[in-house]
Structures are given as C-alpha cells and as structure tokens.
Amino acid sequence: MLRINQVKILITLDNEAYHLEKIAKLLNTNKSNILDIQIKKKSIDARNKKQILFVYTFDVKVNNEDKILKKNKNPQIFKTPLEKYQLPKKGEQLLKNKIVIVGSGPAGLFAAYLLSENGYKPIIIERGKKMEDRIKDVDNFWQSNKLNEESNVQFGEGGAGTFSDGKLNTLVKDKRFIGQKVFEIFVECGAPKEIMYEQKPHIGTDVLRKVIINLRNKIKKMGGEFLYNTKLTDLIIENNNLVKIEVNNNTYIDCNNLILAIGHSARDTFKMLYNHHLKMEAKPFAVGVRIIHDQQLINEQEYGEYAKILPPASYKLTYTTKEKRGVYTFCMCPGGYIVNASSQKDMLAINGMSYYKRDSQKANSAIIVTVSTQDFGNHPLDGIKFQQTLEQKAYTTGKGCIPVSTYKDFKLNQASSKVNLQEIKGAYQETNLNEIFPSYINTALKEAIDYFDHKIKGFNSDNTLLAAVESRTSSPVRIIRDDSFETNIVGIYPCGEGAGYAGGITTSAIDGIKVAEALISKYHPTEK
C-alpha cells in the first residue's frame, strides 16, 4: 500500500467520490487503478474560518504500486510502513500463583486483557461493582444525593473515566504501537471504528459502558477471573517479598505478583501502602472549577459559518499568571454535563461527562490551577489532604450539593443569585465559590478566565457559569517503580493514573499493557 500525508479537502467537498478523485490526481494514475482506500488519520484545520479543511492521511492499495511510486516525486507519498504491535518474548520462570490485578479501570483491564490473551489467567479484584450495578448506584446518587462510598463515579468497573467524555487522545509517542493495540481492542469491543483515525477520538460515556462490559466478557473467555466488591485491605510481606494479599479485611489470596491499578481516588489504599513503606512521593497536580458555556458560542467561535455542519467544537487554552502559576483548560466536554463525582462522605468533587453524540446544549471544561509541594507539603500523602480540604469546603459551602455560581458573582466575591442549569447530574446550590479555594487560586482563576476571553469572545461574560470543585484531575501521588515497573517491595507493580504514570483512558491503558509486558517477559504461564 501507499501512504499519502497531508491531503487537504474542503469540508464541503468531503465524500468518498471526491477522495477517490483527489487521490488519483495526487498519484497521477487512473481511478480504476485504485483498489482500496483506508483513512489513517483525519483532523480539522480551522485556522482560516472562511476555508475550513479536513486534513487526511490515506493508505491506498493500487495496481502497479512500484511504478506509480517511482514516477511520483511528492515526499508526502511513500510505501506504507509496517505498524503492528509486537508482544515481547515470554519469560522462563514459572508462576507460583496467579497474577492479581487491583482495579478494573483502563490500566487494570488492559493489563488483564494482554495477560489473558497470552495464557496467564489473572485475577482482577475490584472494590466496586460490575458495570450494570454500578450504573444504577451512580444514577441513584445523582437523583437522591445518597452516596455509596464503594460504588460511585470513582469506584467500580471501568474506573473514573467511565463517567466522562471518554476521550482517547494522547500526546504519548507510540513507537511500539501499543496505543494502536489499545484502539483495536476498543473497536473489537464495540467502539466506533472512527477512533482509529480521528485526531481527537472519543467514545462517550454511553458507548464506553457497553465497551467495558464486552471487554470484561472477552477477558473472562480467555481465562481471566473478576471478583467484585473485593477491596484490597492489606499486604502480607516476608523478607521484602509479597506473599499474600488481604481483601475485605477477612480473606487472603496467595499472591507473589500484584499489579496496582487502583486509580487516583483510592485514598485509603494509598495510606495502607504507605504504612507498608512502599516508596511513594507527592507530585504536582491541579485544582479548580468547571466552566459552562452555550455550545453554540464555542462552535461559532471555532468554526465560524461552518458551525452548523461540523461536530460540536472543543478548545484547549493555557495561561501563565502574573505570579507565574500555570492555569489551563482540561477535559473539555463538548455538548456535555457537569456530574457529581464524589467518593467520600461529606466531601464533594465534580467532573465533566458527555454522551457519544455530544448533543446537550452546553459545553463545559475544567479550568485548573497548578499546585505543588510548595502549596501543600512534602509528605507523600499531603496532596491527598489538600484535595480533601477543598472537597470538604465544597460540600459545606454547597450544603451537600454541587456549588455553582455565575462568573460575575465569583468576580464580585459574593453568593450567586438564581442559576438555571439543566445540563448537570446531581443536585446543585448557588454559593460563593471564593469560600472554597485559597486566595491565590481564586486570583489565578479570575485572571485566566479574563485572559481566555481574548481567545474565545464571550468566555468571561457575566452569565458564564462555574461549578466546583474540580479536584481529581490527576493523582497527587506517584508510587516509585524501577525500569522493570517493580516497586521497592518485590512483586508489586504499580501502573496507570493512580500510580502517577498516566493521565487519561488511553495512557492508562498503555501503561497497563507495559506492566503486563514486564510480567510476561519474566514469567511463563502455568497452572498451579
């Protein structure tokens, strides 16, 4: 096949017939010589609002490939390179006990998939419930405001990303095509095939829930075992080697190899691991609010006259304050919802969520301010305490409901007047958001939001809505691991977002696969 990069097509001309015509012209051949066209990449170039383009990379199967390539001097045309994931060679050591994976978010599930696919039959333990039951608990929480601390937006099959926009984009360089492997598995499990080539792929919470169920069933068919409502409560260590784990405070599982894919909200688990002297450190993260605009405003700003014929637009904005503190937008949800994402009683955290069609009338995005050990302390668990303080203040200020405010009232440092917001999952309460954050965060947020209005006109309008608190942007802890992905305690392998090595669904899944590879390279599967 031949690859053609940087094929620019006006969005009004975008159809398969025109693709064929354009490709034939670029290859200087007859259309009849083109046997197959596959899209490798697709993005939108909206820099010129009067002439918005789709930019494609195509892989094209043609007759007389060598002849066409020889006479074509365009550097954007070349033979399609081999791009395929390769599994490392299996190790020689025999497993004494099955590998146990803690957590069934993206890192845990994709580690489980690779291990199961290659005969290792892991045990996956999950403190929360399986997807079908978890959805019921989350819906009940949003309607009744009664929290189940073990089954919620943070805990349960699929992880925290299940109740999000389901974004799959990543900036990670993927020389070994692990990310491609992840996307192939997603598609096999029911994700739309467009994620294989779109610049900003997303699944949406509704489709992702079904994909996770299909992924679980595939893992089970390959020999993996799932234990739900099963919480890691202790480690049994002898001579610095893991020998057993305790679950639910009363049951023991023989275990010499433990993959920790616990997510960024397992605060009690972090504390237990720290008490066992597992090496970890506090890491920088970011906290802030969710900002809500009419999606139409964002579409028109990003796409101009083409707004009505293009999908809901997203944005990404960054700013450095006068005090040299970073502020940026994060996890922007076109056509989305604000959701109550709490996981501890008397604390409140929020997130953004979109369905696959992104068809609500509102856009929301986190606007977050960077914080570091200079703000919250050097102890490995100090970042968690900082998050909890903000979440307690949000809960109190909002009287147990999501605190909301207009931007005008936030700037004036006053309680907000009546807010009407339909695109929200969970009860909300008008408040003064300034009471939640330290003054330096309030100042940074206001400075940044006003600056962002230069990028998107209307961004800082008086009736723009804010909600708080966005505190779970990334893990405040990094568990230290060596080049073989192992910790200072032999047999423990941390991975994913909770361990501090990923930042989203795709990077977590990739990291889970890398840790699974480390174990595959060391051990050969065997029945006990």
Predicted local distance difference test score (pLDDT) of residue 527: 55
Give a yes or no: residue 88 inside a domain. no
State the virtual CA torsion across 406, 410, 412, 417 in degrees, nearest 10: 40
Predicted local distance difference test score (pLDDT) of residue 525: 87
Residues 409, 434 share a domain: yes
The whole-number average pLDDT for the span 66-93 is 92
**Rg, Å, the chain Cα set:** 24
Distance separating the N- and C-terminal Cα atoms of the chain? 47
Residues 271, 225 share a domain: yes
Q: What's the whole-number average pLDDT of the chain? A: 96
Residues 311, 349 share a domain: yes
Does the pLDDT of residue 425 top 70, yes or no?
yes
Residues 452, 345 share a domain: yes
Residues 465, 506 share a domain: no
DSSP of 29-88: S-GGGEEEEEEEEEEEE-SSTTS-EEEEEEEEEETTHHHHHHH---TTEEEPPP----PP
Give a yes or no: residue 86 inside a domain. no
Domain end position, chosen among 79, 103, 136: 79
* CATH code (residue 160): 3.50.50.60
Give a yes or no: residue 37 inside a domain. yes
Predicted local distance difference test score (pLDDT) of residue 171: 74
Domain end position, chosen among 430, 453, 470: 470
Residues 253, 123 share a domain: yes
Does the pLDDT of residue 322 top 60, yes or no?
yes
Predicted local distance difference test score (pLDDT) of residue 528: 43
Does the pLDDT of residue 68 top 80, yes or no?
yes
* Of 206, 160, 128, 146, nearest in space to 471 by CA: 160
Predicted local distance difference test score (pLDDT) of residue 113: 98
Domain containing 502 equals 93-281+477-524
Residues 153, 115 share a domain: yes
Return the percentage of the chain with pLDDT > 90, whole number. Answer: 94
* CATH code (residue 55): 3.30.70.2700
Residues 159, 16 share a domain: no
DSSP of 377-442: -SSTTHHHHHHHHHHHHHHHHTTTSEEEEEHHHHHTTS--------SEES-EEE--GGGTS-HHHH
Does the pLDDT of residue 386 top 60, yes or no?
yes
Domain end position, chosen among 79, 113, 148: 79
Question: pLDDT tens digit string along 344-378?
Answer: 999 999 999 999 999 999 999 999 999 999 999 99
Domain count, the chain: 3
Question: pLDDT tens digit string along 257-302?
Answer: 999 999 999 999 999 999 999 999 999 999 999 999 999 999 999 9
Residues 70, 12 share a domain: yes
Give a yes or no: residue 84 inside a domain. no
Confidence of residue 174 (pLDDT cuts 50, 70, 90): confident
Residues 10, 61 share a domain: yes
pTM, two decimals, is 0.95
Residues 455, 377 share a domain: yes
**Cβ atoms of residues 231 and 481 within 8 Å:** no
Residues 511, 433 share a domain: no
Question: pLDDT tens digit string along 128-159?
Answer: 999 999 999 999 999 999 999 999 999 999 99
Return the percentage of the chain with pLDDT > 70, whole number. Answer: 99
